[in-house]
Structure 1
């Protein structure tokens, strides 16, 4: 295997490059033997807090984190770190009065443990890391879904979010399909900077193109 893990974000980045730069990008993945998620900690304050607020459906967590990060921002002297705090503050501010039940597919969710994040697809170890997985519905007819919170300074397109949602659907299908119904609409990816939610149902319906397999095949060809 050329690499240990390939985060979905790397597939999205790869798709943005010219043909020449795609090969260079793939070569770097082979050299490092691991495709790091790339600055995930940069957004940890906003992503982890929004995830926790979603789980308990309580934006009081957002307001508390806003105060904490604002204090860090005011005390920080380094411009780059200050900018990081400010960007997290900007995102958290959008959610301080948000009703997280808008993202719940049911009035009652049972949160489930997350299996390992690596799922092999077409011979490549794809890393899939949703923040929350949940079940809901009648005892003998339960559905399962998940939510994956992401953001990127370069900005995600709808088709990028579609790649994430399709990967999430495959992940849940791989681990939970024996005991649950996998609800495509509840396989949600949220671009938290835009407050935009895309479910896998939009890919199934053709609203957003299905690009996951083609993206994996293309990067795999460069890794061989």
Structure 2
């Protein structure tokens, strides 16, 4: 069975009842499915620059990447490639004036990710979890940990869909880091870079955003 992503679960949720059955059957095949917006690397140009700007607190990486992609856009004659560049360029323009400060504590330290921790077993299914950054900080003498995940989809995400990234991100932190840190719901953040909005696990916790992750997983499991 293939390892699932949150995008897989979102794609499943958006389908008709009939299509969900076919989708569930396909999920049991080993072959990795390519997403309709170009796969995992489609948005890498913009997301990597945004992620680096967040980490180093410097917008120059966004500007430099945008200029680089604009040059590539002008040089290629392949329409599909031009479209990919254009979509990434549009995201970078959006983030030129984005305030990253609201997404992180005032004082914190980044924590190195461990690649072997990227697969979570949830209700018998393997899920890939690849946050952009992990960071630790102290709050009232308590060592806390947070994480941020910059994600993209061609048509963007609905609030409850983006909330699924925040949910599994919180589970990831709880499984791997709860022995050494208190998990921060406030700084467990998923960011939709296409629609430029974010969801925290805290919003799920207090019921501000409907948490649909486990319900959707249960629905998929029943069809498998």
TM-score (norm 1): 0.93
SS at match of 1:6: coil
Tell me, yes or no, if the aligned pair for 2:2 and 2:30 is still in contact at 8 Å: no
Q: Does 1:53 align with 2:47?
A: no
Equivalent residue, structure 2, for 1:142:
143
Partner residue in 2 for 1:127 = 128
Q: In structure 2, what is the Cα distance between the partners aligned to 1:141 and 1:120?
A: 29
Residue 78 of structure 1 and its aligned partner are, at CA, apart by 0.6
* Structure 2: distance between partners of 1:50 and 1:102: 15
Q: Please report how far the alpha carbon of residue 206 of structure 1 lies from its aligned counterpart in structure 2 after TM superposition.
A: 0.6
Aligned partner of 2:164 in structure 1 is 163
Instruction: Name 1:71's counterpart in structure 2.
Output: 71
Structure 1 residues 160 and 192: alpha-carbon distance in aligned structure 2, compared to 1, 3 A threshold: same
Quick check: 1:133–1:147 contact (8 Å CA) kept in 2? yes
How many Å separate the matches in 2 of 1:59 and 1:153? 24
Residue 155 of structure 1: how far off its partner (Å) = 2.4
Alignment correspondent of 1:111: 110
Report if the CA contact (8 A) 2:155-2:194 is conserved. no
Say which SS state the counterpart of residue 210 (structure 2) adopts.
coil
Alignment of 1:1-224 (within 5 A): 3-34=1-32, 39-104=39-104, 106-115=105-114, 116-137=117-138, 141-223=142-224
After superposition, the C-alpha distances for 1:101-159 in whole angstroms (9 at most, x for unaligned) are: 2211x122211122321000111111111111111116952111111111111321000
| Cα distance in structure 2, aligned partners of 1:28 and 1:4 | 9
How big is each residue's C-alpha offset from its partner over 1:148-182, in whole Å with a ceiling of 9 and x where there is no partner?
11111132100001111011000000001011110
Cα distance, 1:36 vs structure 2: 5.5
Q: In 2, distance between residues paired with 1:180 and 1:213?
A: 25
Residues 9 and 27 of structure 1: is their aligned pair in 2 closer, same or farther, counting only changes over 3 Å? same
Change (3 A) 1:163 1:132: same
Mapped to 1, the partners of 2:33 and 2:108 lie a distance apart of 33
* Distance change (3 Å), C-alpha of 1:71 and 1:86: same
Gaps of 5+ in 2: none
Q: Contact between 2:2 and 2:27, CA under 8 Å: does it hold in 1?
A: no
Q: CA RMSD in A?
A: 1.6
CA distance in 2, matches of 1:209, 1:101: 26
Q: Deviations over 1:54-108 (max 9, x none)?
A: 011110111111111110011111111001000000000111233322211x122
Structure 1: runs of 5+ lacking an equivalent: none
Distance 1:12 1:117 in 2: 19
